[in-house]
Amino acid sequence: MFELITLPYGAKDLEPVISERTIGFHHGKHLQGYVDNLNKLLPGSGLEGLTLEEIVCKSSGGIFNNAGQILNHNLYFTQFCKGGVALADGGRLKAQIIKQWGSVEAFQAEFVAKGVGLFGSGWVWLSRDADGSLVITQEPGASNPVVRGLKPLLTFDVWEHAYYLDYQNRRAAHLEALWQIVDWSVIEKRM
């Protein structure tokens, strides 16, 4: 049985970037729904006892969609904190970003542009490949970079449920604001 993750911050702590109301629906209703659905679908599927990553790599249909959304949201919700934590100077992640994009700002601009440019519902990701290079990918629906053999590091949710209560149609404004609450120490640990 999978369980709803506990948030590592209070429901109001990400305001005004993400409101308490959005956290309530996004974590308490949408993510809870994916957890409940997966727990109903898994018995008899042959995938019981596997990790979320393993299920995502081996499944399709409803099991893939619900397991993928749990994996995605678990990574999403645990990468934020009140006020954010800056990307560490002298760290290997910042060095790699500057090596590949020229500046952190140029990386952020491409990341947001790929989130804005993703048609419909999905996720934009920063991942590490087998050679240690960083890559930005757009994943439709419930997908996750693990299906491509990538190690997911950072993600912005571009499903409308992630921002519609606070930003309505202004997806770009929401994605730009998220940089204020990213805890880069978490992203460094994932690398």
Task: Give the interface with Mn ion as residue ranges (CB under 5 A).
Answer: 157, 159, 162
**Shortest Cβ 92–Mn ion spacing (Å):** 29
CB of 91 to Mn ion, least distance (A): 28
Is the Cβ of residue 22 or residue 97 nearer to Mn ion in the bound state? Answer: 22
CB of 6 to Mn ion, least distance (A): 17
**Minimum CB separation from Mn ion for residue 73, in Å?**
6
User: DSSP string of 15-66?
Assistant: TTTS-HHHHHHIIIIIIHHHHHHHHHHSTTSS-TT--HHHHHHH--HHHHHH
In contact, 156 and 75? CB cutoff 8 Å? no
Q: How far is the CB of 134 from Mn ion (least distance, A)?
A: 23
What tokens appear for 28 in the block?
């308490």
Q: Which is nearer to Mn ion, 55 or 162 (CB)?
A: 162
In this complex, which beta carbon is closest to Mn ion, that of residue 25 or of residue 101? Answer: 25
How far is residue 124 from each of residues 54, 56, 90, 99, 145, measured CA to CA in Å?
21, 17, 26, 21, 10
The CA-to-CA distance between both ends of the chain, in Å, stands at 28
C-alpha torsion angle, residues 26, 79, 119, 130 (rounded to 10): -140
156 versus 159: smaller Cβ distance to Mn ion: 159
Query: Which residue, 157 or 183, is less far from Mn ion as judged by CB?
Result: 157
Q: Which residue is nearest to Mn ion (CB)?
A: 157
Tokens of 68: 């993928």
